Amino acid sequence: MRRAPAALALAAALGCASATPPEDPAVVCPVTVSDGQYQMGTVLEISLCAPDRARGEAILGELFAEASALERILSRFDVKSDLSRLNRSAGTGPFRVAQPLAELTTLSLGYTELTRGTFDVTVGPLIVLWLEAEHTRALPPAADLAAARARVGPQVVRVDAAASTVDLLVPGAMLDFGGVAKGWALDRMAEKLRAAGITRALLSFGQSSLRALGRPAGWDGWGVLLGDASGGFAGTAQLVDQSLSVSGSLGQYTEIAGRRYGHVIDPRSGEPMTQARVAAALAANGARAEALSKALLILGEVDGIALLESLPDAEGILIDEGGKTWETSGWTEAVRYSAEFPGESD
């Protein structure tokens, strides 16, 4: 699997944020602690304002431990995870799982309806099919594609939240939370931060799933850089108590018969995306932002933008390989979006 240039990078030293009226950092942010660890298949970076260094480092440790615990439940790469054991049970009846898995499954099924079927955690059989295509360098036979599609959709799964069971009704069905787990994990971490009295923090999974609490002392917001689908610069954004998800259609891709096939699959057709685009979605929480960024990417500049416009808490932007953009009416104001590179207008 080839990897295209990253679509999003944290702005160095908050370079894309502008200063707010003076405030005393010693009062609003006595100590800033930051660290990064490899978690959930990428790097989790956290920066937060704490009352003192010892307390801040202890909180960082708790957040990284939370990410590790969720990975042991939700990873499809760990054969011992709850998710892997659930997928192996497909077709055998209700399977008892850890409460977070049941909760995320229920939430994800709701997002499938919200996104008109473009975000779907039952997409696992299609992912496996296209991974095999990557290995063989040959497109899947039509019969295999049809068989995989028959095992995808909300109709193949049933959740009993009270009993903490998930039933994959069709043999060969499988869940995959790769498109939502990181945003959902950030939501849980944000809850822990608020419970600990932390009101200023930025959490980033692989620079594509971000959750901001408050803003850094002396700045309008937590600054991020957005890239276009070719890896070039597209613009800057600032986050304040917001969640942002960035999805790229060809962030990872394979070439078959001279054509690029990305890792983002349209569950409705069973086909991967082939057009290079980047979608960024802003929402009230990380899991919702992740679902909406996939929907915007797949639905495109007409239906995708219309979907986000219809939601009171969502904004977004779609960027193609040449740098052309489409955005919701409130995007620029919501994140103080600017197409200028930091410092360019100085």
CATH of the domain at 106: 1.10.3980.10
Residue 150 lies in a domain: yes
Say if CB 337 and CB 235 are below 8 A apart: yes
User: Can you give the pLDDT at residue 5?
Assistant: 35
Residue 24 lies in a domain: no
User: Can you give the pLDDT at residue 325?
Assistant: 93
Angle (CA) 179 256 79, round 5°: 40
Say if CB 218 and CB 324 are below 8 A apart: no
DSSP 165: E
Say if CB 139 and CB 130 are below 8 A apart: no
Number of domains in the chain: 1
Which is nearest to 34 in space by CA: 202, 223, 213, 197? Answer: 202
User: Can you give the pLDDT at residue 234?
Assistant: 87
User: Can you give the pLDDT at residue 297?
Assistant: 97
Residue 111 lies in a domain: yes
User: Can you give the pLDDT at residue 339?
Assistant: 87
Distance CA 247, CA 119 (A): 12
Q: Each residue's pLDDT tens digit in the chain (346 positions)?
A: 443 333 333 443 344 455 555 666 667 899 999 999 999 999 999 999 999 999 999 999 999 999 999 999 999 999 999 999 999 999 999 999 999 999 999 999 999 999 999 999 999 999 999 999 999 999 999 999 999 999 999 999 999 999 999 999 999 999 999 999 999 999 999 999 999 999 999 999 998 999 999 999 888 899 998 888 888 888 999 999 999 999 999 878 889 989 999 999 999 999 999 999 999 999 999 999 999 999 999 999 999 999 999 999 999 999 988 888 999 999 999 999 998 877 665 4
User: Can you give the pLDDT at residue 11?
Assistant: 41
Which is nearest to 187 in space by CA: 58, 114, 284, 121? Answer: 284
The single-letter code of the amino acid at 49 is: C
User: Can you give the pLDDT at residue 2?
Assistant: 40
pTM of the entire structure?
A: 0.91
Residue 87 lies in a domain: yes
Residue 324, number of CB atoms within 10 A of its CB: 13
Beta bridge partners, 272, equal: 265
Say if CB 319 and CB 281 are below 8 A apart: no
Domain that holds residue 108: 82-168
C-alpha separations of 168 from 109, 239, 270 in Å: 13, 38, 19
Residue 159 lies in a domain: yes
Distance CA 290, CA 299 (A): 14
User: Can you give the pLDDT at residue 16?
Assistant: 44
Q: Show the tokens assigned to 257.
A: 């018969």
The single-letter code of the amino acid at 335 is: V
Residue 196 lies in a domain: no
DSSP 141: P
Q: At what angle do helices 181-195 and 99-114 cross, to 10 degrees?
A: 120
Residue 62 lies in a domain: no
Residue 216 lies in a domain: no
